[in-house]
Amino acid sequence: HSKNNNNVNISMYNRSMTDTIENNVTLEQKIRTAIEENNLYFVLQPQYNTKTKKIRGFEALARMKDEFGNYISPSSFIPVAEKTGLIISIDNWVIRSSMIFFKKILEITKENLMLSVNISVLHLLNKGFLDEIQQMLDETGFPPSQLEIEITESVFISSMTKAIETLNDLKEIGVCIALDDFGTGYSSLSYLSKLPIDLLKIDKSFIDELLLSESGRNYVAAIISIGHIMNFSVISEGVESQKQLDILASLGSDYMQGYLWGKPMLPKDVVKLLGISA
């Protein structure tokens, strides 16, 4: 009897594993199709100076629809794209397209706005990465000092030496570096001081804790202090309420990004927000 039971369990387990694999294969196919058929697009989320309330710049975020026009969320396609290596095509498409668009914005506004783009670990450690970025800068005539590359701490688990080397090369061509989702990964003070970073992005999970507990608030205060001691600017991600913003301003967070002041938006809405006609 118990043997039978076991068999049932085993086969159910196998079946659900197969389902997951099949789902991922389908999603992988959907991602490939989306890339091929131009169902990939990007949105831009504004970042603001906490004190002056002026726009600092925008973060470009990948978006995708399947062949039926259904929206696929980044939390489902990004992990699969990372596993399959498709993330490199996605990153490159988002970087090039957002640079082409934002170059026009810079020409019209003549403002010192930043464009931030996300780079997956796999991509950063890829051999051709630096040349690709350099080529896109050359092609678009985009000012390197207004391009910011967002990386996560996981790059340092994969390969600290290679990652630092690539980041230094990026700095040399004039591009800025932001450390994304700070505090959620492999944070260590000893590596922070070795990194050529310009901006620390405090992860939303910390911002969520801000109003919930004394310790939540202390963590954020500590992260901001560390950032400033290291001479980084600090931006808070996922700011949704005025109360959070008030505390963040009092704690000295230089910038903020969040639904409170701006959701990720289509390029045409960026044009509206900036009050220009492009």
**Residue 197 identity (one-letter amino acid):** I
* 153 near ligand C2E (CB under 6 A): no
Q: How far is the CB of 265 from ligand C2E (least distance, A)?
A: 10
* 209 near ligand C2E (CB under 6 A): no
Q: Which is nearer to Mg ion, 47 or 118 (CB)?
A: 118
The partner in contact with residue 61, picked from ligand C2E, Mg ion, none with C-beta cut-offs of 5 to 8 angstroms by kind, is ligand C2E
* 181 near Mg ion (CB under 5 A): yes
* 61 near ligand C2E (CB under 6 A): yes
Q: How far is the CB of 118 from ligand C2E (least distance, A)?
A: 4
* 62 near ligand C2E (CB under 6 A): yes
Per CB under 6 A, the segment of 155-163, 192-200, 233-241, 245-253 that binds ligand C2E is 233-241
Q: Which is nearer to Mg ion, 258 or 267 (CB)?
A: 258
* 94 near ligand C2E (CB under 6 A): yes
- Least Cα distance to 185 among 197, 203, 168 occurs for 203
* 264 near ligand C2E (CB under 6 A): yes
**Contact residues: ligand C2E, CB under 6 A:** 45, 61-62, 74-75, 78, 87, 90-91, 94, 118-120, 150, 180-181, 204, 237-240, 257-259, 264
